[in-house]
Structure 1
Amino acid sequence: MVQLLGEFDCKLDAKGRLMVPSSLKKQLPNVEQEGLVINRGFEKHLVIYPKKVWEKIVEDLSKLNPYEQKNREFIRLFTRGATELTLDATGRVNLPNSLLESVGIEINTELVLACQFDKIEVWSKKSYEALFDKDPADFALLAAEVMGDKNRREDGK
């Protein structure tokens, strides 16, 4: 399983290209051969998946019952705009304008690439920083709710 770490400040150039930071590229050793997939996130950001991770997601989606409307709706919304990315010779990827526009990311803007387990979230720097404007006490409450005793597994771990 891919384990990506780090936050990277980047800039989208005038042609919508993003230079993949070398320290991130090292965490994706076969990216030139395997490729990446970019798609919308659940909030106002984009998500880049290593191709093998995306293939697993698609496999999971294909197991959903297509006769249920909520499943069809979710699949349409989740996969809408998904695009394969390839790195050019200098390590840049061209981000699709339609996806950038859908989340309010403009050309020539500062971005943050935020790694989360096996994916990379792509945020405008301004939107990303706004996520963390909450009081730190809110984080403690969230941690207790999400990770607290009430969510312990049945095996006690």
Structure 2
Amino acid sequence: MSYLTGEFECKLDAKGRMMIPAGLKKQLPEADTEGLVINRGLEKYLVIYTKTEWDKKLDELSKLNEYDRKVNQFVRYFTGGATTVEPDAAGRINLPKGLMEYAGITGEVVLTCMLNKVEIWDKKAHQQMLSDEPENFADLAEEVMVKRGKGGNE
């Protein structure tokens, strides 16, 4: 799978259905045949994975020590609520009510591509997240990329 790119604003209809934007749909050709998996994010947002990417996550989790309580707690939380959805004939997916409640999604959302997944944010929460951008993004980049050996000029 190639990496996903873009940010898209969407509105949910009264039934909690969301039209997959054309620019994103082109990047997810397997969605119609395999479906997508929607789950809770690590913060108050939802995440969409292709079925292939979700299976990779499950493969990673299956290698963890099942006798470690923290592992079990993490796996239980990470996989809990995961729901397979398939786009309908109109290209809409139905967001599960419980997941929408978790993420505080009320009607307008922002879809943000993050490498191999798509985050679904309530529009107001997304704006708040953006307003919390670090004061010095260059410092964050250095901390994350250079100090961890991922920087370019080493």
Match runs of 1:4-153 below 5 Å: 4-106=4-106, 109-134=107-132, 137-148=135-146, 150-152=147-149
Distance in 1 of aligned mates of 2:132 and 2:55: 35
How far, CA to CA, are the matches of 2:36 and 2:104 in structure 1? 21
* Partner Cα separation in structure 2 for residue 37 and residue 9 of structure 1: 20
- Over aligned residues, Cα RMSD in angstroms? 1.5
Take 1:58 and 1:135, find their aligned partners in 2: how far apart are those partners?
Answer: 31
Partners of 2:134 and 2:140 within 8 A in 1: no
User: For residues 58-84 of structure 1, what are the alpha-carbon distances to aligned partners after superposition, in whole Å with 9 as ceiling and x for unaligned?
Assistant: 111111111111111110010010000
1:117-146 CA-to-partner distances (Å, cap 9, x unmatched) read 110000011111111213663322211211
Q: Deviations over 1:77-128 (max 9, x none)?
A: 100100001000000000000000012112xx11000001110000011111
Q: Which TM-score applies when normalising by structure 2?
A: 0.93
Distance in 1 of aligned mates of 2:50 and 2:2: 8
Give SS of 1:147's match: helix
Q: TM-score with structure 1 length normalisation?
A: 0.91
CA distance in 1, matches of 2:57, 2:134: 33
Structure 2's unaligned 5+ residue stretches are: none
Aligned residue identity for 1:81? G
Structure 1's consecutive aligned runs of 4 or more residues displaced over 6 angstroms after TM superposition are none
Unaligned runs of 5+ in 1: none
- Say if 2:45 and 2:119, in contact at 8 Å, map to a contact too: yes
Q: Number of matched residues? A: 152
| Amino-acid identity (%) | 53
